Amino acid sequence: MRLATICTALLACIAGPAFAVEQDCKEVEVPVTIRATAPALPETFDLPSISNYVHLWVGFLFNLPAQGKYTIRGTHCTSTVRDPENNGRLQVLVHGICGSRHFFSGLESPSLGIEAFGGKNYSYVDYALSKGYDTLAVDRLGNGRSDKPNPFLVVHLPAQIEAMNSLLERIRAGALGKIPQEIIWYGHSWGSILGQGLTTKYPNAVERLVLNGWTAFVDKAAITTALRMQFWPARLADARKRFTKLGWGYLQPSSEKGMTQMNFWGAGTDFDGAHYDTGITKQIWTQVGTVAFGELLTSSLLNGVPSASFKGKVLVVTGQHDDFFCTTSYRAGHVDCGSGDKNGLGGSWSYVQDDKSILARTGKKAFPRATRFDYFVPPNTGHCLHQHYSQKLSADTTEAWLRETLPTSARVSRSGAGVVDKGADGLLRHDEL
């Protein structure tokens, strides 16, 4: 598909206008129940023990049960915008490591007295509400204001999958006050790993996935990227002393430079600040959260395990220069995720043939039976694509895809606006942008 005005949209969203939407939001607490399996940690950390542990993870042998009842906290917003196609559809927003639900609302932090950066310019919550969607931005288990159980034995990918599946079941049972017409998973980074893992075990958990800042491949060079962040126990690393009561397995980056280089394209080079506001990197560092040891380990070992039975629809949005999920170099900044067609599109809505890019291979590996797999590569963009100048373009493209992939019965004629059709060349087109 060719989005006719996508290049114009890129220029228009450099400044990214704020989304003036009346908010109807409330804090929510949802109890979840988990019963997952994870191999016990080795008693010694010599090479044979670690090697054996890796094999246990991959094969799920000699499993140690992780179970319990916990509370997931988040912010639920109901759109006040009338849109017959999108009203009643809930986007569940799931953040990455060292983040929280506020990643999606412009990096505000009420507990720290920090307002959203740039007003609402960087708030995906406000963007989604302006298009008629409801949103639920959650703090994942072990993060933000959600419960923080044992970081070794409980907070890992298998348990997170169980927690989120339990959350979605409760949402469908009316935990938010009303039952959504559809649940759309919208993840970033680790939240994308979690979404893909969810559909591996529970292929009917959601109908559509939007996965940001992610691919199904992590090169060994990404270890260097992670090491540059210099993780230490959060109770020692956090300058604000917010985590002094957390267990030793909750970690936090201690290198602002390393974290910024991973998240932002051009950081520390001649392009520093060319594609993002340097002030936003400071705001991220000011409120950086934690990651559990179990999350770090399981994400690298289990990322991209095929969702063999998932038959839904998937959109991956990953920056052109994502320095974690696309890196193949041990030097910072030497990374390229590909570019798709001239509009940055790949998959069903692109004219690119025989696509061998890392994102195209992600679809074949992780979602072999998906009804539809597409991707978008925002140019000059790093891992934290929501905080680059291209963020409005990414949001607009995601919205175009969500409308295009609606069930035929759900589409509403709007005098030609947003109508999907085929041009003379047979390519799908969408005129909404």
Read off the pTM: 0.87
pLDDT at position 48 is: 54
State both tokens at 326.
Answer: 């696309």
Residue identified by tokens 């985590």 is 243
Residue identified by tokens 């390229």 is 336
Task: Decide: 246 and 219 in contact? Cβ < 8 Å.
Answer: no
From first to last of its 433 residues, the chain has per-residue pLDDT tens of: 444 434 444 444 444 445 666 779 999 999 999 987 655 555 555 555 555 555 445 444 334 457 899 999 999 999 999 999 999 999 999 999 999 999 999 999 888 889 999 988 999 999 999 999 999 999 999 999 999 999 998 999 999 999 999 999 999 999 999 999 999 999 999 999 999 999 999 999 999 999 999 999 988 778 888 889 999 999 999 888 999 999 999 999 999 999 999 999 999 888 899 999 999 999 999 999 999 999 998 887 789 999 999 999 999 999 999 999 998 766 655 688 989 999 999 998 998 888 889 999 999 999 999 999 999 999 999 999 999 999 999 999 999 999 999 987 777 755 443 333 333 333 333 333 2
pLDDT at position 99 is: 96
Task: Decide: 155 and 295 in contact? Cβ < 8 Å.
Answer: yes
